[in-house]
Amino acid sequence: MRIVVAVLIFAALASVGLAMMRSLVGRTPHKPMDAPVAPPPDVRVVFWCENCGTELLLVRRGSEAAPRHCGESMNTREEVGRAER
């Protein structure tokens, strides 16, 4: 009788554990990444933080969303270079 109770308890705990693992796996985002896009060669994209003044020069754009700094989205500034002669 003890063995039957032990097996039933094990089965109940195992099913609860597996259900928890499945729910964790189901929440993992499997969104495909967008292909990185480089800005045009004569355009420099600079992100700057309004709070602390940090500036980031963007070399390759991974998504359309601006990076975050000091807990807020950074501002975007595009600088068009002059054609060299």
Nearer to Zn ion, 45 or 74 (CB): 74
Q: Is 75 in the site for Zn ion (CB under 5 A)?
A: no
Cα separation, 71 vs 73, in Å, equals 7
Cα separation, 78 vs 43, in Å, equals 6
Q: Is 83 in the site for Zn ion (CB under 5 A)?
A: no
Q: Is 52 in the site for Zn ion (CB under 5 A)?
A: yes
Handedness of CA 68, 27, 64, 33 (dihedral sign): positive
Q: Is 51 in the site for Zn ion (CB under 5 A)?
A: yes
Write the single-letter amino acid at 69. Answer: H
Q: Is 73 in the site for Zn ion (CB under 5 A)?
A: no
Using CB under 5 A as the criterion, which residues of the chain lie in contact with Zn ion when the complex forms? Answer: 49, 51-52, 54, 69-70
